[in-house]
Amino acid sequence: MTVDCGEADFECHTGFVTDHIPKLQFADIGQAVAIVVGPPAMMHFSTLELLKMGFKEENIWISLERKMCCGIGKCGHCKINDVYVCVDGPVFNYTKAKNLID
């Protein structure tokens, strides 16, 4: 967990999450699973860092929840190509989500 800035006694990391991802250590990167939620730019660059570290695409999950409005497949606000994020997701495996970039 990281925040933009914190008080002196704050016990979390500060700064961009992408600065901290490369510092993470995993016993077996091939078995590690990541769930990425947040603003689009943060999710994009965080996912790139995870891939650089050796995460398998199929072990990364992306939330596209921000695009939802009605949440029941009626308004079309969430539609990317032929996918309704609210009905088909909103969490997608990266192997699919990488093609849902708007």
Q: Which is nearer to ligand FES, 13 or 79 (CB)?
A: 79
Q: Distance between terminal CA atoms of the chain? A: 27
Closest CB to ligand FES among residues 35, 72: 72
Residue 52 or 77 having the CB closest to ligand FES:
77
What number of CA atoms fall less than 13 Å from residue 44's CA on the CB side? 7
Residue 38 identity: G
Give the footprint of ligand FES on this chain (CB under 6 A). Answer: 68-71, 73-78, 84-86
Rounded to 5 degrees, φ, ψ at 54 are 115, 10
In this structure, which amino acid lies at residue 3?
A: V
Minimum distance from residue 40 beta carbon to ligand FES (Å) = 17
- Nearest approach in angstroms of CB 101 to ligand FES is 17
